[in-house]
Amino acid sequence: MQVSKLWLRALLWCNNLHRRLLTALFAIIGPRSAYWITRWGARTLYSLVDVLRERSEVQCRAALAGRVPEEDVPHIARQSFVSRAWNLTDLMLATRRLRAGTYCELGGRIEEPYLDRLLAAQRTGKPAILVTAYYGPYDLLPAFLGYNGVRATIVYLPHRNAGYDRFRQRIRGQSGCQSISVSEAGPRIGQLLGQGQTVALVADHFVQHRGMPVTFLGLKTKALRSVGLLAWRYGADVVVAGIRRIDERFHFKIVVADVVEREEIAAHADAVAMVTDRYLRALEQLILGDPTQYMWAYARWGEEFAVQHTAVSGRTDSGE
């Protein structure tokens, strides 16, 4: 047991050293070369790991059926994995390139009238819930929010590599946004919203227990009730947004897909169902704007769905 722990520590140390060396290299060679290197590595890994490739293509094909040509699915699924790898490249490039003086030229300014409304709500003590998905360079979204003057508290899932997690949190929080882990979020979110503050969270999870039965991209799933419950209870606006990578020059765009206003929520007979449906439809709109930036390898419709459909696909491909 002690030997296993030592090996794990050594592996994490090597992993963190590798990240620090890459960060230094990418600062020298610039975004285009950095993204090229990461793309090559991600494509190589994707081609070698059959389970990863099959799961990505199966979920992508099921969700995008009738929306994109069938022959485009392998490319979308592979580029999705590249985009996921680029999330780390984004963080490493951000150490030198993302600052208060550069965020606008990088495409990180929130468009009007949304920015003015978020800032006005903040000034007047009106709570807001920002909802996003595992889409695009989502780790950079907190930094861009802070540079826009939006002081949000971000709910996040800590990474198992503590060294990488500290690095990621340093970038995410460099503009003033605070973070709380998922394990602490339950009572804390209510306190923050009750104080008229802004909370941001990823809300495209599959929720096995107590999830609300819904559809997402045409497929049955279970979604968080908490966004609707919190918005109804605390009179919060719900803003659905994401960040999209525009090119390989470290350039982005913040996309606001929908705003569900507190007055709409208060007036609706089933506020929780209405808010849940609205934010899911808005996330669909965001994803369909560029499906190559969504994380198709993630079991969005549940692990059972992913396993069963991957198995069926494997039997079909083998001719059974």
Contact at 8 Å (CB) between 235 and 266? yes
Co-location of 72 and 162 in the same domain = no
Is 107 domain-assigned?
no
DSSP H or E run through 264? helix 262-267
* Distance between CA atoms of residues 137 and 29, nearest Å: 20
Co-location of 148 and 83 in the same domain = no
Co-location of 92 and 164 in the same domain = no
Is 103 domain-assigned?
no
Is 259 domain-assigned?
yes
* pLDDT block averages, 10 residues each, the chain of length 320: 65 81 94 97 96 95 96 98 96 96 97 96 96 96 98 93 93 96 91 96 89 95 94 97 96 98 96 97 98 94 82 53
Is 105 domain-assigned?
no
* SS3 readout for the chain: CHHHHHHHHHHHHHHHHHHHHHHHHHHHHCHHHHHHHHHHHHHHHHHHCHHHHHHHHHHHHHHHECCECHHHHHHHHHHHHHHHHHHHHHHHHHHHHCCCCCCCCCCCCCCCCHHHHHHHHHHCCCCEEEEECCECCHHHHHHHHHHCCCCEEEEECCCCCHHHHHHHHHHHCCCCCEEEEHHHHHHHHHHHHHCCCEEEEECCCCCCCCCEEEEECCEEEEECCHHHHHHHHHCCEEEEEEEEEEECCCEEEEEEEEEECHHHHHHCCCHHHHHHHHHHHHHHHHHHHCHHHECCCCCCCCHHHHHHHHHHHHHHHCCC
Co-location of 183 and 272 in the same domain = yes
Co-location of 132 and 36 in the same domain = no
Co-location of 57 and 161 in the same domain = no
Helix (H, G, I), strand (E, B) or coil at 302: coil
**Residue 282 DSSP symbol:** H
Quote the domain boundaries for residue 7: 2-97+296-317
Is 169 domain-assigned?
yes
Co-location of 84 and 149 in the same domain = no
Q: What is the pLDDT of residue 210?
A: 84
82 φψ region: left (φ > 0), alpha (ψ -120 to 50), beta (else) = alpha
Is 154 domain-assigned?
yes
The model's pTM = 0.93
Contact at 8 Å (CB) between 206 and 302? yes
Sign of the torsion formed by the C-alpha atoms of 27, 28, 33 and 34: negative
Co-location of 262 and 305 in the same domain = no
Is 126 domain-assigned?
yes
Q: What is the pLDDT of residue 208?
A: 84
Q: What is the pLDDT of residue 38?
A: 96
Q: What is the pLDDT of residue 318?
A: 46
Domain count, the chain: 2
Co-location of 75 and 145 in the same domain = no
Q: What is the pLDDT of residue 18?
A: 82
Is 108 domain-assigned?
no
Co-location of 91 and 238 in the same domain = no
Co-location of 225 and 269 in the same domain = yes
Helix (H, G, I), strand (E, B) or coil at 73: helix
Co-location of 224 and 265 in the same domain = yes
